[in-house]
């Protein structure tokens, strides 16, 4: 038995060296040392995993700060108020062309506008005024028609509300109000 074999320790299967497979007899190792080094390396890997987590957290903070610094998007005309019938729904895009929104006029004096993207996975919600809710057909999510808050289903965050303003008989979208949970 050579010097390396003498220094080897009991293998994980508990059998003496002579009963081990040929590859273990050819390359005997110090098993406790092997386990120690494997755990130490795993500990180092885990500890270094902390750094990306912390960086992502700081990144979220910075992103939020930049968004706030940028302020609300510019106002955009939706349609003349007279063109929106009572009880009707008008689709528009705000603040960008790929941000679909819905404008509702449940009665003469009430105007409501929400983002059409479901806050669960971004499917388009459809208004159901007879049930007083928005419905997301992808995962059967429901939102209140008057406030956009989630009622049932997977969505947990309310629909972002579009701030509206009437200027000279024309309806404008002037900002997006993201509700807190």
Residues that bind other proteins (CB under 8 A): 32-33, 35-37, 39-40, 42-44, 46-51, 53-54, 56-58, 60-61, 64, 68, 119, 156-158, 160, 178-181
Token pair in block for residue 163:
């701030």
In the complex with other proteins, the residue whose CB is nearer, 3 or 108, is 3
CB of 173 to other proteins, least distance (A): 17
CB of 66 to other proteins, least distance (A): 12
Token pair in block for residue 95:
């603040």
Tokens 């080094």 belong to which residue? Answer: 37
In the complex with other proteins, the residue whose CB is nearer, 2 or 49, is 49
Closest CA to 139 of 151, 153, 122: 153
CB of 68 to other proteins, least distance (A): 8
Strands 150-152 and 161-167, sheet pairing: unpaired
CB of 60 to other proteins, least distance (A): 6
CB of 133 to other proteins, least distance (A): 19
In the complex with other proteins, the residue whose CB is nearer, 156 or 167, is 156
In the complex with other proteins, the residue whose CB is nearer, 18 or 58, is 58
In the complex with other proteins, the residue whose CB is nearer, 105 or 134, is 134
């Amino acid at each position: 038995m050579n010097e390396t074999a003498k220094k080897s320790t009991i293998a994980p299967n508990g059998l003496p060296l002579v009963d081990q497979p040929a590859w273990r007899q050819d390359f005997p190792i110090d098993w406790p040392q092997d386990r120690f080094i494997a755990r130490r390396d795993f500990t180092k890997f885990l500890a270094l995993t902390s750094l990306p987590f912390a960086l992502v957290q700081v990144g979220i903070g910075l992103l939020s700060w930049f968004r706030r610094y940028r302020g609300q998007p510019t106002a955009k005309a939706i349609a003349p108020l007279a063109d929106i019938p009572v009880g009707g729904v008008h689709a528009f895009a705000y603040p960008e062309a790929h941000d679909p929104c819905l404008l509702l006029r449940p009665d003469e004096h009430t105007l409501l506008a929400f983002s059409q993207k479901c806050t669960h996975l971004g499917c388009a919600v459809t208004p159901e005024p007879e049930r007083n809710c928005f419905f997301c057909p992808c995962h059967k999510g429901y939102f209140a028609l008057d406030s956009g808050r989630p009622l049932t289903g997977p969505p947990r965050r309310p629909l972002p509300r579009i701030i509206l303003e009437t200027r000279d008989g024309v309806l404008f979208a002037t900002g997006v109000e993201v509700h807190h949970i």
